[in-house]
Amino acid sequence: MTMGQAGVAELVDQLCDRAQLFAKLLLETRFRVLNEVVFNQVLAACDTPAQTTATLAAIQARGECWCGGSQWLGEPVIRVSVCSAATTEDDVRRSAQAFVRARDDTIQ
């Protein structure tokens, strides 16, 4: 199957839209989004580096969605890469809620 130039452009737009939705949902739930989301990457953090690290570990352990860790200006961050054409808005919403649950569970 071939997507062609128009198909690839549509895919890139879709991935960017999903990443921007992810960032919006995280911001609405008191995560910090550290980058300008202009492509498919979102760098998020919690209130403290320790909380960010614990939240990432909880997200990965639960398996609801997958994200990686990285560093941004010496601070740990959670790196989201929206990279599948199969990722729906519902997937993004469910994943953002998984972030919230993981963070909230690390606080208590």
- Residue range 25-61, pLDDT digits in tens: 999 999 999 999 999 999 999 999 999 999 999 999 9
Looking at the predicted structure, is the pLDDT value of residue 1 above 60?
A: no
pLDDT value, residue 105 = 92
Whole domain around residue 23: which residue ranges? Answer: 4-107
Please report, for the domain that includes residue 98, its CATH number: 3.90.1150.10
Long-range Cβ contacts of 44-47 (<8 Å, 24+ apart): 44/77, 44/78, 44/80, 44/99, 45/72, 45/75, 45/76, 45/77, 45/78, 46/103
pLDDT in tens, 68-96: 999 999 999 999 999 999 999 999 999 99
- The pLDDT of residue 71: 97
Number of domains in the chain: 1
